[in-house]
Amino acid sequence: MLGDITVVDQIYIACGYTDMRKSIDGLVTLVHEHFNMDPFEPALFLFCGRKADRIKALMWENDGFVLLYKRLESGKFQWPRTEDELQPITWQQFRWLMEGLQVEQKYSIKPAQKGAVY
């Protein structure tokens, strides 16, 4: 199905700034050459420019690449800018990002490890 992101196994955000003039070919090259990742894996790759009011999402479907683009009418995405790498995020972190929150929440309840049964 066109742009069904629920089929991906992993979500990655490209920390820092991305030139938003890049199209599918430019983003595929960035994923492959700069980040040393396989753009054909079942993953969603997210990119954000300097204005932080728009993002591009790249994913491979079995017959070609899909490029999704979102522009906010007000507000900005809380995009991590400190590193020049691909950072894996969870679906929860993706939801936070889309809601205008930071990917890392100080006060969220973290997943626990299995413990001993008493």
Output the six-digit token pair for 17: 């700034």
- Helix (H) / strand (E) element for 29: namely helix 24-29
Domain for residue 109, yes or no? Answer: no
Q: Cα–Cα distance between 36 and 10 in angstroms, integer?
A: 15
Domain for residue 26, yes or no? Answer: yes
pLDDT in tens, 16-65: 889 999 999 999 999 999 899 999 999 999 999 899 999 999 999 989 99
- CA dihedral (8, 36, 81, 100) in degrees, to 10, reads -10
Domain for residue 24, yes or no? Answer: yes
Structural domain boundaries enclosing 58: 7-98
Domain for residue 105, yes or no? Answer: no
Higher pLDDT pick, 11 / 82: 11
Q: Residue 107's pLDDT is what? A: 67
Domain for residue 116, yes or no? Answer: no
Number of domains in the chain: 1
Domain for residue 76, yes or no? Answer: yes
Percent of the chain at pLDDT exceeding 70: 92
